[in-house]
């Protein structure tokens, strides 16, 4: 089967891409609302894109009823944000945080999530996070007629919980993926857990 995207609606294209670009990492993004409360929302159009400068990308579409998502506006207006890597035990809370709340209402408060100070950021991180990135806005690119907001964030520091830090065979620090136990996004309402750890040495 060859699928010609030129004959499809944007929604059909979204369904096709999100069921085939799999698995996708999930950015659980904490940003600051205009009333100083904290917005929390997941994005699976997300990845690291550069090391010099250290940049990550999240792509935010429009709300179902129209209008830009609060995360986009918060980052544009107040610059700072925190990205968490979602672990398996956070799946239900992450999913619940994707609900559309009125502007200024905090998912952190609604879900009873605990936050704690994040070094290198004026914003807190989720206390249960095993990995969190302290970010500031680098740039926003607007793509397409809707438009989609491609948000580039500069990473100023990374929190890694001590419980997921180990050593490799040479005694160097290693972040243990199986201890982070991240989940990935598939299509629709499906997710994938970490599963089996596979390793291959790259050719010289």
CATH number at residue 163: 2.30.110.10
Q: With respect to residue 94, please indicate whether it lies within any of the assigned structural domains.
A: yes
* In 90-175, alpha helices (H): 91-96, 107-110
Contact 55, 48 (CB under 8 A): yes
Q: With respect to residue 83, please indicate whether it lies within any of the assigned structural domains.
A: yes
Does residue 146 have a pLDDT over 90? no
Q: With respect to residue 68, please indicate whether it lies within any of the assigned structural domains.
A: yes
Q: With respect to residue 197, please indicate whether it lies within any of the assigned structural domains.
A: no
How confident is the model at residue 190, as a pLDDT?
A: 96
Mean pLDDT of the chain: 94
Q: With respect to residue 199, please indicate whether it lies within any of the assigned structural domains.
A: no
Measured at the CA of 16, the angle between CA 14 and CA 43, to 5 degrees, comes to 45
Measured at the CA of 81, the angle between CA 77 and CA 83, to 5 degrees, comes to 145
pLDDT band at 63 (very low <50, low <70, confident <90, very high): confident
How confident is the model at residue 120, as a pLDDT?
A: 92
Q: With respect to residue 202, please indicate whether it lies within any of the assigned structural domains.
A: no
* In 84-131, alpha helices (H): 91-96, 107-110
Interval 126-140: pLDDT, tens = 999 999 999 999 999
pLDDT band at 203 (very low <50, low <70, confident <90, very high): very high
Rounded to an integer, the average pLDDT of 80-98 is: 97
Residues 6 or more apart from 83 whose CB is under 8 A from it?
A: 27, 28, 29, 30, 46, 56, 58, 132, 133, 135, 153
DSSP β-bridge partners for residue 173: 167
Least trusted range by pLDDT, from 23-27, 177-181, 184-188, 200-204: 200-204
Q: With respect to residue 198, please indicate whether it lies within any of the assigned structural domains.
A: no
Q: With respect to residue 183, please indicate whether it lies within any of the assigned structural domains.
A: yes
How confident is the model at residue 198, as a pLDDT?
A: 82
How many distinct structural domains can be found in the chain? 1
Residues 6 or more apart from 193 whose CB is under 8 A from it?
A: 88, 181, 183
How confident is the model at residue 195, as a pLDDT?
A: 87
Measured at the CA of 47, the angle between CA 72 and CA 102, to 5 degrees, comes to 25
Interval 97-133: pLDDT, tens = 999 999 899 999 999 999 999 999 999 999 999 999 9
What is d(CA 151, CA 45) in angstroms, rounded to the nearest whole number?
Answer: 10
Enclosing domain of residue 154:
5-192
What is d(CA 187, CA 14) in angstroms, rounded to the nearest whole number?
Answer: 9
> Comparing 169 with 45, which gets the higher pLDDT?
45
Does residue 64 have a pLDDT over 80? no
In this prediction the pTM is 0.94
């Amino acid at each position: 089967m060859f699928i010609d995207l030129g004959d499809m609606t944007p929604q059909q294209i979204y369904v096709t891409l999100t069921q085939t670009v799999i698995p996708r990492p999930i950015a659980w993004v904490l940003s600051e609302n205009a009333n100083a409360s904290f917005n929390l929302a997941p994005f699976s159009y997300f990845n690291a894109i550069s090391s010099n400068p250290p940049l990550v990308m999240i792509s935010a579409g429009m709300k179902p009823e129209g209008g830009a998502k609060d995360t986009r506006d918060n980052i544009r207006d107040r610059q700072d944000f925190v990205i968490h890597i979602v672990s398996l035990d956070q799946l239900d809370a992450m999913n619940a945080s994707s609900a559309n709340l009125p502007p200024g209402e905090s998912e952190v408060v609604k879900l009873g999530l605990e936050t704690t100070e994040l070094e290198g950021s004026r914003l807190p991180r989720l206390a249960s996070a095993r990995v969190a990135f302290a970010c500031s806005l680098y740039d926003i690119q607007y793509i397409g007629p809707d438009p989609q907001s491609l948000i580039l964030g500069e990473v100023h520091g990374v929190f890694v919980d001590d419980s997921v830090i180990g050593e490799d065979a040479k005694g160097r620090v290693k972040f243990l993926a199986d201890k982070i136990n991240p989940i990935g996004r598939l299509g629709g309402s499906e997710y994938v857990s970490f599963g089996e750890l596979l390793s291959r040495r790259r050719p010289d």
